[in-house]
Amino acid sequence: MKNTLRILRTEKGWSQAELADRLDVSRQSVNAIETGKYDPSLPLAFAIARLFGRSIEEIFDDEAETAAEAAE
């Protein structure tokens, strides 16, 4: 799943560790989400969206849905 988490985090001037602390997850989890190796749980996705004042859809892009829409 593509996401803009790294961009949003750097705009705030936060390190991965600082973002992890704010979300109560590990720095490794933040890294895995940013690099697309891990999709966050729905509660974590909502927490991320609230933290940045964005909707989930503004931060996370379901590539499969995008590909299906493009095929139509």
The total of structural domains in the chain comes to 1
**All residues at 6 or more sequence positions from 32 whose CB lies less than 8 Å from its CB, including other chains:** 38
Residue 39: CATH number of its domain: 1.10.260.40
Query: What is residue 23's predicted lDDT score, i.e. its pLDDT?
Result: 98
Q: Is the dihedral of CA 32, 38, 44, 50 positive or negative?
A: positive
pLDDT, tens digit, for every residue of 13-35? 999 999 999 999 999 999 999 99
Predicted model pTM: 0.84
Determine the structural domain holding residue 14 and report its residue range. 2-71
**44-56: burial string, b at 16+ Cβ within 10 Å, e else:** bbebbbebbeeee
